[in-house]
Structure 1
Amino acid sequence: MSGAPTAEVYRIDWLPGTDVLHGVCHCGAERTAEDPVELWEWMLGHPNGHRPGGNRPGTEHDPADHRPADHRPADRRPVGHRKETAS
């Protein structure tokens, strides 16, 4: 990498059980989308369309709203995981 590091942090999380991604810009603005390219273009287009705390004025955003009502974390192990045994 070249140049001085910046303090700008962008975060994209996948909402389990959905095709939805939740992005948070370094300014605090949030947005959800199914298309990762759309989400990155929005983030890197800062400040256009950015309002800290949400992507539309006067709306609250809760990523939990995107989860199916019966959503529970999966109880499974990664492929290839070996169960540990006591010696």
Structure 2
Amino acid sequence: VGKIKEALSEVTLLGEDTRNNRVLTTALNPLVSDISLLKEKYGPKRIGVVIGTSTSGISDGEKAIRFHLDQGKFPENYHYRKQEIS
């Protein structure tokens, strides 16, 4: 099992700043200039970028459940939607 040792990029989209999305953003950032060149060459409707992660955000859910068990509610910044596969 690998471990990410570097700092993860922030996600600036409101409500989408999760560890999972930070991992995706960090992996995608070095490819942005190449993707831009491909968009210019072939057009944005002719290329696709597929990225994904599995369980890098599971610890956030575990912490939220522990908080819920102790406090009777989820933390203010926790939203189950962030953990759904979409």
TM range (shorter): under 0.3
* Structure number with higher strand proportion: 1
TM-score normalised per structure 2: 0.26
* Structure number with higher helix proportion: 2
TM-score normalised per structure 1: 0.26
Structure of greater Rg = 1
